[in-house]
């Protein structure tokens, strides 16, 4: 809810300027990068439910600070604490603990659907909430939602058995974490999610501008995202429920990367035509959703329970690094490259990603 409006309303805060507004946006991802792996390690040594509750409590405190300190510095501190509740990797590991292997892909897909739905609702509701209740009402609403999450986790979600890791294993945990990072199977997923969100940030830097050039008003962009994302998730659900073809299931990651290459190629050749721009965006979101499901399941199916939290946290850290680098880098190159050159650069990145993923698979 904050992202669509922060660049505009942040200027009205005490000491607000463009640089500090950018810092308040980016510091959330920076905090996620810092705390994902420590939370994951703690979840492997202690109960995951307890770690999730701690993360939600930190997120709640960050919302309270953002809502009550009416300055850009208060917002920066609050956003940092929001990001410090970095429990997405722990949640994915927690899910894998309780779901049988044959149902893990479906359960992770359900989480992906909830992410997409919340994203769409927030993009629509954020500006409407501010218009009617003011900027800081967003953080009060987030505080209430975090309390609801705490209640749900505490009362409705079962405790997992505490992981029993020998002291020797704990002392060598940094070596284990390094092995988890350098393992080819897992590294394929880590770099995959990094490249995926790097490309996503670059697309969201150029596509909104291109839609406006073609005469589609900025206030109506959410409709395009609503239709394309909804169609992509419908295709994803049908595939998960009915596809039994072993070739597609075995090579789904590389097939999805190729589809992203195809979507970028269409955008390169026909970005001046509205119809082909929508086709390119639709293919991209289909591939994006497939990778969001199958990249983490590639880790969950190939690791022991004792280090699942650590591996999933490395995965989540890679995702936020992709967001951070993609946003910063795309803003930088957009200042001196034209649309055609940026598209060529994206195609080059996707090709590197494809060959890298193919190599790690072999």
State the pLDDT at residue 324: 74
State the pLDDT at residue 348: 94
Q: What is the pTM of this model?
A: 0.73
What is the SS3 assignment for 127? helix
Assign 346 a pLDDT band (cuts: 50, 70, 90): very high
How large is the average pLDDT for residues 239-247? Answer: 78
The runs of H, that is alpha helices, within the chain are 3-9, 18-45, 48-68, 72-84, 88-98, 104-133, 137-156, 167-171, 173-182, 184-213, 221-242, 246-250, 252-270, 274-300, 308-333, 339-361
Average pLDDT, the chain: 81
Distance CA 85, CA 21 (A): 21
Residue 257 has pLDDT above 90, yes or no: yes
State the pLDDT at residue 247: 77
Sign of the four-CA dihedral 85, 86, 88, 89: negative
pLDDT tens for each residue of 46-83? 888 889 999 999 999 999 999 998 888 999 899 899 98
Find the helix packing angle between 48-68 and 18-45, rounded to 10°.
160
Residue with more model confidence, 78 or 43: 78
Residue 161 has pLDDT above 60, yes or no: no
Distance CA 95, CA 111 (A): 10
Which domains does the chain carry? 1-160 (1.20.1250.20), 178-362 (1.20.1250.20)
State the pLDDT at residue 11: 76
Assign 351 a pLDDT band (cuts: 50, 70, 90): very high
How large is the average pLDDT for residues 282-310? Answer: 77
Distance CA 316, CA 149 (A): 20
């Amino acid at each position: 809810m904050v992202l669509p409006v922060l660049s505009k309303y942040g200027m009205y805060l005490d000491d607000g300027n463009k640089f500090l507004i950018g810092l308040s946006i980016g510091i959330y991802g920076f905090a996620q990068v810092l705390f994902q792996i420590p939370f994951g390690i703690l979840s492997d040594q202690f109960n995951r439910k307890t770690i999730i509750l701690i993360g939600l409590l930190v997120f709640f405190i960050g919302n309270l600070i953002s809502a009550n300190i009416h300055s850009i510095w208060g917002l920066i501190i609050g956003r940092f604490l929001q990001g410090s509740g970095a429990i997405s990797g722990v949640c994915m590991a927690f899910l894998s603990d309780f779901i049988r292997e044959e149902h893990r892909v479906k359960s992770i897909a359900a989480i992906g659907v909830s992410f997409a739905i919340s994203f769409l609702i927030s993009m629509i509701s954020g500006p409407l909430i501010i218009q009617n209740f003011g900027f800081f009402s967003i953080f009060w609403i987030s505080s209430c939602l975090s309390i609801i999450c705490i209640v749900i986790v505490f009362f409705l979600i079962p405790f997992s058995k505490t992981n029993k890791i020998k002291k020797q294993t704990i002392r060598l945990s940094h070596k284990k974490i390094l092995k988890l990072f350098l393992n080819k199977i897992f590294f394929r997923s880590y770099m995959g999610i990094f490249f995926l969100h790097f490309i996503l940030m670059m697309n969201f830097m150029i596509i909104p501008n291109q839609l406006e050039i073609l005469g589609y008003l900025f206030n109506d962009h959410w409709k395009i995202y609503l239709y394309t994302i909804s169609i992509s998730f419908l295709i994803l659900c049908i595939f998960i429920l009915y596809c039994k073809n072993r070739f597609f299931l075995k090579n789904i990651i590389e097939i999805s990367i190729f589809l992203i290459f195809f979507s970028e190629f269409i955008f390169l050749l026909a970005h001046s035509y509205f119809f082909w721009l929508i086709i390119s965006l639709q293919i991209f979101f289909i591939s994006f959703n497939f990778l969001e499901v199958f990249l983490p399941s590639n880790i969950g199916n190939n690791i022991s329970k004792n280090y699942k939290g650590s591996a999933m946290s490395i995965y989540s850290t890679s995702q936020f690094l992709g967001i951070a680098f993609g946003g910063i880098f795309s803003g930088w190159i957009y200042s001196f490259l034209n649309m055609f050159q940026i598209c060529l650069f994206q195609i080059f990145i996707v090709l590197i990603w494809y060959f890298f993923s193919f190599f790690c698979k072999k």
